[in-house]
Structure 1
Amino acid sequence: MRVEAAREALPDLPGVYKFLNERGEVIYVGKARNLRKRVLSYFTRAEDPACDYKTRLLVRHLAEIEWIVTDTEWDALLLENNLIKHYKPRYNVLLKDGKTYPYLCITDEPYPRLVFTRQKVYPGTYYGPFPGGGMLRALIELFQGLYKLRDCDLRLTPEGVAQGRFRACVKYYIGTCAGPCLGKQSYTEYRAVVEEVQRLLEGQWEAVLAELDRQRREAAAELDFERAHELKKRLEQLRAFQQRSIVVDAAQGDVEALSFVVGVRAGVAHHLAVRGGRIVASHTWQFTAPQWAEAPHEVLERVVGALAADQGHVAPQVLVDGWPADVPLPELEGFVLLTPEGPEWTELALLCRRTALTLAEEKNAFFAQKEEKRLQVLRALQEVLKLPTLPRRIECIDNSHLQGAHLVSAVTVFVEGEPRRSEYRRYILENLPIGDDFAAMRAVVRRRYEKRLQEGLLLPDLILIDGGKGQLSAARESLQALGLSIPTFALAKKKEEIYTPHAAEPIYIDRRSPVLHLLQRIRDETHAAAVGFHRQRREGAALHTELTSLPGIGEKLAERLLSRFGSVERLRTASLEELKEAVGPHRAQKLYAYLHER
């Protein structure tokens, strides 16, 4: 979403935000307890003369803002970490003011320790970087509480422990360390729990939980109830942590999560890419409510197609939330579409839906506000022109010719103040007196509304004529002959005078008025349509005359050529092969040479 719109739409909720530049590259990822306050603070800081250069540079390069709403700030912290690893945004390094990211190191010792560090100074295996120290300390606290790992700096060895060289510290006596220094926990047992921690850090939560559950059942079968209780407690704590951090372990494997939320006017599809149980990316698409109502499967296929184009591939499973209950999911080649079932999938769907809801609410509120502004202008127009009903449907008519030749007309349609281009119509006016613009207006009005009466089609609430009092009178003559009493007015150029049927003097509207702006827009759109059609007809007639002057091309063939290619310009750019298909090889050679010599 562009910066200007996003500043208005940001929710007062926890989540993660992404800053993108003009090329669509993610240049910064951050988390917030309140997305709106946090993101807007960048703009406030950038205006401060004391603001650091890096922040000002970030704001200067900022073109779009995207966000993901999370349930808690903790979830936002975990998700921020995953997105930073995935996108590697340059400003996430630049804005740290020289402070490096924290890592978790499992030291390379006989009895490894979990060490919080910002520099890779310890021999061992490193996990991270993490976006903040709070998250890493919470993880270390979790693992040490569950597994009672040592955090002392004793240089423990199996031989030294066997010889009784070490004494226990207070942590052993208060129960926060298993006492490997005294041999209370064997070397093999200690290494086993460290390996379990490593597997958890690598994202293998489901495998670890399954193994712990197997050990618990095994201990219970052997009547070792103390160990079974200890394993049960560990299982419960890990599952509670997993549920708390759904953004890291929503489901095992790779999956695409899509949530569709549709409002009165517009709908939003929000996407979360899960890789190895971790959310690593997000995307958002918008569509109209009528598109969803008419063909939701087409919307889904377009979204999945855009996803494949953006990512280069789609995960084997695509979770679809918000799908109509009475419509079966389509079958797409290469992956499986499924609806959320089970706690893990439901939690992921809720996370995805939460962001889609905020975006859909914002989009529909924007449309509602825009619609209300249009209605305000239409109400003002009704008042200015003293119309009996609100002019929801306005039709405008204009003629175009050159010294009376190639006379044409155009009719444009505006509904609720917006153009309905599918209903625009163009008319060729023949057998009329040369230069008689009034006769042309009478003819097009009669043709237009006589046909609509015969076919029972909608009639306008207001007819606008591009012209002056003479054109207005001509249009009203045809309407009266048809028995129609549609309010009709004319808008003349230069002075922007509005001529009314029963007033001697025209109406003048303030040039700053939105009412006049709407009328001008409708009049100018119609004028452009009429002039464009006239130019096309004139050029087509000129080329038609030139074509018939060529040997072997008569009236019918010239008309067929122009009809087949649709326009003069298209005929001139046609290839030799296309011309051969239309007129045969011999004529095509002559025609091609003629068209490309000009």
Structure 2
Amino acid sequence: MNKHLENIPKLPGVYIMRDGIGNIIYIGKAKSLKDRISSYFNADSESKSTAIITSMRKIDYILCASEREALIIERQLINKVQPYFNAMWKDDKSYPYIKFSLQEDFPRLTLTRKKLKDGAEYFGPYPQIFYIKKLVRWLVKLFKIRPCKLDFSEDKLPEEKKVKSCIYVHTDMCYGPCLGKISSADYKNKIKDIELFLNGKFKKLADEWETQMSELSSQLKYEQAQEIRDRLYALQNMSERVMISEITQNDINKSVERADSINELKQVLHLKHMPAVIEGFDNSNIQGTNAVASMVRFTNGIADKKNYRRFKIKTVTGADDFASMHEVVFRRYSGIIRKNEKLPDLILIDGGKGQLSAAAGALEELQVLTPVISLAKKNEEIFFPQKDKPLVLSKHSAALKLLQSVRDESHRFAVSYHRKLREKEFLNDK
């Protein structure tokens, strides 16, 4: 992580923290960007910083002329984006904590929404429960913490017949305290580093594990040394996954606009899921010659060119847009199903009811349930399968602009492929 931090300037600015799929989760300002961002990875990080680190994957920053300008930009962006963590620290009553039950002989990690004075350590609260659940599962696996809810002590173990078939013990995913396989003192010693992790003291933890691994190796305790090595690798992955880059305020505005367009699209189309991945199709031919089709993919509102596809029409003779669309859509998603790849969240067809019906027919044959719509260029009408009346959005609609971008790009890509084939055919005829 240090090599990334070295390039951050000691200047006023605004920093933007994102999760694994690019969502902005926290926005802050700083008199010195380098000092402030570095503090999140400092051994003395507070629980607030640790909460962010568990969800964060990327940091962007905007350089400002002064701390006052940074404050103004920070407020503008927070009001516009309303990130999870900024909202949480206004009212954190309903968010879950990670509970580390140190008062028990064999402590556990659990999630709770109540912070009690019961001798346990509490970390959080955290707004992104999806990530925190994953984190707890990861820590349980990494440290071999008992995942069960059994209430027992070192002096009063559960009946053997109730626990002897536990899969976690038999697969070496738990130290087996319920069967008396480990003492309370040894168990607590093996999991004591969890506190360092949850307090954000990653560097101290890494240094300790490096020392432990060397000592165990020198004592020829290779199996235990390998266990510490695996923890080190996992910890390095936790810290190295964060990328840092400088952006402009215009970049942030564009990012916010893309998010707005995706949110609006979900609402106006009444979709069950956010249309983060959209695939668009178009056909191209002149008098039935060199019939081709294109498929483009947009991810989070951005053209994902490495996942574009081109198709030569194989089963259709002459200029038949409907049959060509059916062929291409069928070929695309039969391939997706065969390779067990992820389907898009929305499919967009360039055209009207005819092209849409052809595409919908192909999807129905394949039993693909992904929503499909078409966008007709003349009046920018959005058509739906099984509905006669199209949807017409305002020309200023962010959702419409996103659909237009996908439609226009699929058209451009199809025409460029068709032109390329015609030029190749012309050269061969000479």
For this structure pair, what is the TM-score category when the shorter chain's length is used for normalisation? Answer: 0.3 to 0.5
TM-score, structure 2 normalization? 0.44
TM-score, structure 1 normalization? 0.32
Structure having the higher Rg? 1
